[in-house]
Amino acid sequence: MLSTTTLACTLVAVSEASARPYHHGNLRSALLAQAELVVGEHGVEALSLRELARAVGVSHGAPRRHFPDKQALLEALAVEGFDRLTRELEAALQEAGDAAFAERVEALAGAYVRFATRQPALVDVMFAAKHRAPDATLHEAAGRASAAMQGLIAEGLATGELDADDPQAFATALFAVLQGLVSLSNGGMLPAAEIDATVADATGRLLRGSRPAA
Amino acid sequence: MLSTTTLACTLVAVSEASARPYHHGNLRSALLAQAELVVGEHGVEALSLRELARAVGVSHGAPRRHFPDKQALLEALAVEGFDRLTRELEAALQEAGDAAFAERVEALAGAYVRFATRQPALVDVMFAAKHRAPDATLHEAAGRASAAMQGLIAEGLATGELDADDPQAFATALFAVLQGLVSLSNGGMLPAAEIDATVADATGRLLRGSRPAA
DNA sequence: ACCTGAACACCGTTCAAGT
DNA sequence: ACCTGAACACCGTTCAAGT
């Protein structure tokens, strides 16, 4: 069938979805891509290594070369999630330009909540993975995502729109509301149509309650 | 305090660990008790119907008479969780007596966060179950728990300490911060020692940002 | 009414063996 | 270096059959 195996290999990485690309080729990224698809569509609990291997056209033992076990694959997925989140947060802040501090906070908040409500299962994987494994690359990926928020807090302090008493406390409270609203929305306790308005309202309360007393 | 039915159940639960109570006996509550134990100790993902049956001294097919499938057992567990939460919230409010509104809010907040951080896996089950099944008894149990919070909001409105503009929005924001702080804590992103102070700080910001403008 | 036990179709993980 | 395929010890669910 395949006489020019070497040529096939180089094409593999590009045309993952096509006919018979595997057996070797970039199995690792093919598995990750398929895993993200399954998780996004049916949730983490529906993910099966054997089905993944099948979908990608490889024997069930093959994934082991790239991911020692299921948990390792989930961690790799989590890293990808954090990287994508970081990009979306930074893009949102860039788009907000040099608007007022409150508007920039809301832009960041909206971007986070949009990301998390559109891919709830991925966010589950991201935080569940953080929970159990002290993986270095995962921790760094999460750190890059939170850096966007830390930077914004620094802005608020610089412009005096934030109480300088305990800036970290504001960051924590803000992230907590967002994460909580995501939980409510993904749990069906908050209508999807109301999420944007609710995010704006909640961050508003937090900002009002965090202004310097003077 | 204890109704007669509750008493009966407690007695069954006590003799569970002894010699040969099953084959008939209260298999349903024995399974639930054991499930709660396993979930609390090793998480939901470690729960196996077969192991549960084994632990309780019954064949693996037996649970089926009481719970059509695994999901049904988890829902029953969730109902128990909501009932217990309701009791703890009401107890906390009672203990706070007729203290100032802010203090009563903090008492409720503290009780919720304590419950959720002490039994993270149970809370997972509670909200995951709400997520997928439109089960009536589960929905009612969750409703009873949220009634405590709704009542408190009504108090704040009555005493004029809360902006009457949109009381539901305050309730949502409050519950969201709490749920978010629980996520952070359970995810290892917030040191357990700091949780109480952080809850007080965050609810404080929310209250300050929710007072009538006048 | 309640429980047993075989059966079915799945898992994740391991490991010799192939190329 | 990367992959296969048999093997092992588990699952959840179904269903005839027992008491």
- Please write the tens of the pLDDT for every residue from B103-123: 999 999 999 999 999 999 999
- Measured distance CA(B78)–CA(A187) in Å, rounded: 14
- Residue B78 vs residues A49, B122, B135: alpha-carbon distances, Å: 29, 7, 11
- Beta-carbon contacts of A149 under 8 Å, excluding residues fewer than 6 positions away, are A89, A108, A171, A174, A175
Q: Which of A177, A190, A196 is the best mutation test for B, with the most CBs of B within 10 A?
A: A177
Contact, B50 CB vs strand C, < 7 Å: no
Q: What is the mean pLDDT of residues A107-119?
A: 96
pLDDT score, position A22: 52
Q: Is the dihedral of CA B174, B179, B182, B183 positive or negative?
A: negative
pLDDT score, position A211: 87
Residues in chain B, pLDDT under 50: 1-20
Closest Cβ–Cβ partner in B131, B201, B209 for A187: B131
**Chain position carrying tokens 């070497």:** A6
- Comparing A63-67, A164-168, B85-89, the range with the smallest average pLDDT is A164-168
Vertex B165 angle, CA B161 and B166, to 5°: 95
Contact, A31 CB vs strand C, < 7 Å: no
Chain B residue numbers with beta carbons less than 8 Å from the beta carbon of A178 are 176, 180
pLDDT score, position B112: 97
Per the model's pLDDT, the better-predicted residue between B165 and A183 turns out to be A183
Count of CB atoms within 10 A of residue A114's CB? 16
- Comparing A51-60, A169-178, B102-111, B121-130, the range with the smallest average pLDDT is B121-130
pLDDT score, position A8: 33
- Comparing A114-118, A142-146, B32-36, the range with the smallest average pLDDT is A142-146
- Measured distance CA(B149)–CA(B93) in Å, rounded: 10
pLDDT in tens, B20-31: 455 767 999 999
Q: Does B208 touch chain A (CB under 8 A)?
A: yes
Q: How far is the CA of B24 from the C1' of C1 (A)?
A: 10
Nucleotide nearest to B54 (CA to C1'): C4
Q: What is the mean pLDDT of chain A?
A: 87
Q: Is B177 close to A172, i.e. CB distance below 8 A? A: no
Nucleotide nearest to A26 (CA to C1'): D2
Q: How far is the CA of B191 from the C1' of D16 (A)?
A: 55
Chain A residue numbers with beta carbons less than 8 Å from the beta carbon of B204 are 209
- Give the global pTM: 0.86
Who among residues 107-166 of A has its Cβ near strand C, under 7 Å? Answer: none
- Measured distance CA(A35)–CA(A51) in Å, rounded: 10
pLDDT score, position A214: 58
pLDDT score, position A212: 86
pLDDT in tens, A9-29: 333 333 333 334 557 679 999
Closest Cβ–Cβ partner in B166, B180, B210 for A179: B180
Of the pLDDT bands very low, low, confident and very high (cuts 50, 70, 90), residue A132 is confident
Percentage of chain A lying above the pLDDT 70 cut: 89
In this structure, are residues A92 and A108 in contact, taking their beta carbons and an 8 Å threshold? yes
Contact, B174 CB vs strand D, < 7 Å: no
Nucleotides in chain D with any atom closer than 7 Å to protein CB: 2-7, 10-16
CA B191, chain centre distance (Å): 21
Residue A139 tokens read as 């921790």
Closest Cβ–Cβ partner in A180, A204, A208 for B180: A180
- Measured distance CA(B57)–CA(A159) in Å, rounded: 67
Count of CB atoms within 10 A of residue B73's CB? 21
- Measured distance CA(B117)–CA(B181) in Å, rounded: 9
